[in-house]
Amino acid sequence: MEVYSNKNQISNLVNSLKLKGFTVGLVPTMGALHEGHLALVSEGLVNNDRVIVSIFVNPTQFDNKEDLKKYPRTLESDVALLQTISNDRIDVYAPTVTDVYEGDVDSEIFEFDGLEFEMEGKFRNGHFNGVGTIVKRLFEIVNPDNAYFGEKDFQQLQIVKKLVEKYQIPVMVTGCKIHREVNGLAMSSRNTRLKPKYAKAAPFIYKTLIAAKVKFGTKSANKVSEWVEKQFANHNLLKLEYFIIADTKTLKPIKRKSKKKLVRAFIAVYADDIRLIDNIALN
């Protein structure tokens, strides 16, 4: 397994692979890899001859600079984890900020047909411009045939699909199901930063989503939302930032149920100073 830090090197590698007729998949990550990431890589290996895993903590998508500073950087252990899956069909692109941004660490400004203003967009200023900037650059550098993203960041997944559509980027974007801990907590690199009592409390998020899905079978979206808000108002450790039942295409909150629309419940919760997100399909 080779680890590249230079974009020209990774571009040359992919070009040589494609000249041989090989297909290339990309799994973009910020490192601190876990089983959820490995599931994405495994999906990539099933459908491609070679998989590039990018490991880059992207500064432009952090609205909280303290969060950027604290984000775990564990390249050595990340590579070791990837080697447990394959040692000859995975390559790592772990660039510096300079290699990616060439001294101009600013986001491009994107329009994602309003997707960027819903949910996370309301609480994380400029976040999706940062996401769009790094994903577009990675697609340009790596030029993959396929790219894999987790459904835990469902809004991000929809925005990446919109990016590909609007810029006519020749990449097939695949969303992969949420990988969970045994207790139901959605796997995230942030979970490692949870203090013990918050780690013990955090599975309450998924339990509440499961209960909300059951209630959605007989109650309105508003009633379900009110119930969820009440559950967290009564919780002494977890603080609800938002709970929204939204159309999966527009990501706008639904006003009434419809069998013609696919909807999901989205949630963001603070466990002390760690922000956790999750979602679940409701129909």
Q: What is the DSSP string of 103-146?
A: T---PPP---TTGGGSTHHHHSTTHHHHHHHHHHHHHHHH--SE
Q: Which amino acid is at 85?
A: I
Q: Are 190 and 276 in contact (CB under 8 A)?
A: yes
Q: Are 265 and 279 in contact (CB under 8 A)?
A: yes
Q: How far apart are CA 84 and CA 28, in angstroms?
A: 18
Tokens of 148: 């894999």
Give the single-character DSSP code of 202.
T
Q: Are 67 and 155 in contact (CB under 8 A)?
A: no
Mapped onto helix, strand or coil, the DSSP state of residue 48 is coil
**Catalytic residues, which ones?**
37
Q: How far apart are CA 68 and CA 55, in angstroms?
A: 14
Mapped onto helix, strand or coil, the DSSP state of residue 227 is helix
Q: How far apart are CA 274 and CA 119, in angstroms?
A: 17
